[in-house]
Amino acid sequence: MAPSAISPIFVDVAEPIKDTLGLPPASRKRLEKAGIDLSQGYPYRPARPLYLQDVAKLRDHYREHKDPGARADPKKSSLFSAAEKIVDLTAHIGTEVVGLQLKDLTDQQKDELGLLIAERSVVFFRDQDITPQQQKELGEWYGEIEVHLTEIHEKPQAPQVPGLSGVSVIWPDLQATERKADFRNPGGASRWHTDLVHEKQPAGVTHLHNDTVPPIGGDTLWASGYSAYEKLSPDFRKIIDGKKAVYRSAHPYLDRNDPNAGPKYLERVHPLVRVHPATGWKALWVNRAMTVRIVGLDKAESDLILGYLYDVFERNVDIQVRFRWTPRTSALWDNRITIHNASWDYGGAYPRHGTRVTALAEEPFFDEHAPTRRQALGVAGSDE
């Protein structure tokens, strides 16, 4: 068993890095049971792309996306009848499915799960016996799997499960070796955000399976984009409907044409309010970490409106769900209609490890005739 703490390691640069961190026992057991080769080190850590231009060319083309939720039985009878019970965790967001194994879902149940995620924003499954390979296979049902490829490297740039391109490793102990974290500057994804907004066709469904979690702390929060939009007055919605915003990448890169200018973020323009293709409902789509400015407005105007929209998302606890993880739990959420935030309150005192697969979806679009969620469901006072 590898040591639990980081140990000094000296290797020739040509040799693979092997076990610089000790894998949590439950994580190691899951990976070995799945037949993952750990002999060359874990995780696989490729070189990251250096230049902005290489990242900008990545997937910079239209890809057809047919959302599985759009073809599902609206009653979700196959999925619901097979489950022991379906538990809505809050009125507006978050549902737990009890008694089903994700690896055993039929094609019809996968479609219905896609619709459930589109309606409830995030869906949870506890006590899952799922391998990284099965996790990737399920992810592919919901769209093209996101892999951090570049034209030069043609390999993933994020930590990956060895031999499984597109299955990312979420391991705060590893991230802490790259960026020191403490109470005042928490680690991990401990800020409100949504994933891959800089893509031409950004993220749809993400599946995070945590095989090791802290005994206390480490919750994840999600907020509903449907409900955030509905919190706005009808007149204010008219101000932002149809507007576009600039969204940036999570990481900066050098400009090959002007490397001395310093790191720059890749930016992409998308609608500020988007419509989900499976539900047809409008959702607010901004996040404090990666939404830069509203197109066509002065900076002061843009900052004022975006600041308010961030607050609507982040300060209304009735449109949020806070989930307490247990080992071997999967969460599947839709990045098109949510923002999320991982609490680092355990302070790195306990191990945490998981694997994540993200499916890319359609190019974001807006439809002025689309209803809100409350309007579509006939909720009283939906236009107040």
The span from the CA of 101 to the CA of 212, in Å, is 18
The position carrying tokens 């194994």 is 101
Distance of CA 93 to the CA centre of its chain: 16
Question: Which one is catalytic: 120, 148, 276, 340?
Answer: 340
Question: Which one is catalytic: 193, 248, 353, 374?
Answer: 193
DSSP labels, 229-250? HHTS-HHHHHHHTT-EEEEEEE
The reply to whether 193 belongs to the active site is: yes
Contacts 24+ apart (CB under 8 A), 3-8: 4/351, 6/177
Other C-beta atoms lying within 10 Å of the C-beta of residue 263: 11
Other C-beta atoms lying within 10 Å of the C-beta of residue 309: 26
The percentage of the chain sitting over the pLDDT mark of 90, rounded to a whole number, equals 66
pLDDT score for 133: 97
Angle at 197 between CA 227 and CA 329, to 5 degrees: 70
What are the residue boundaries of the structural domains of the chain, listed by start? Answer: 45-377
Other C-beta atoms lying within 10 Å of the C-beta of residue 246: 18
The span from the CA of 283 to the CA of 364, in Å, is 11
* pLDDT greater than 70 at residue 30: yes
* pLDDT greater than 60 at residue 4: no
CB contact at 8 A, 197 and 340? no
Question: Which one is catalytic: 45, 198, 336, 356?
Answer: 356
The span from the CA of 24 to the CA of 27, in Å, is 5
Closest CA to 336 of 359, 356, 355, 318: 359
pLDDT score for 55: 80
The reply to whether 340 belongs to the active site is: yes
Distance of CA 189 to the CA centre of its chain: 10
Lowest model confidence (mean pLDDT) among 75-89, 126-140, 168-182: 168-182
Question: Which one is catalytic: 111, 195, 211, 334?
Answer: 195
Name the DSSP letter for residue 380.
T
Amino acid making up residue 271: P
The span from the CA of 141 to the CA of 143, in Å, is 6
The reply to whether 30 belongs to the active site is: no
For the domain 45-377, what is the CATH code?
3.60.130.10
Can you tell me whether residue 180 is helix, strand or coil?
coil
pLDDT mean across residues, the chain: 88
Amino acid making up residue 25: P
The reply to whether 328 belongs to the active site is: no
Which tens digit of pLDDT belongs to each residue from 154-189?
A: 444 678 899 998 999 998 877 666 666 666 676 656
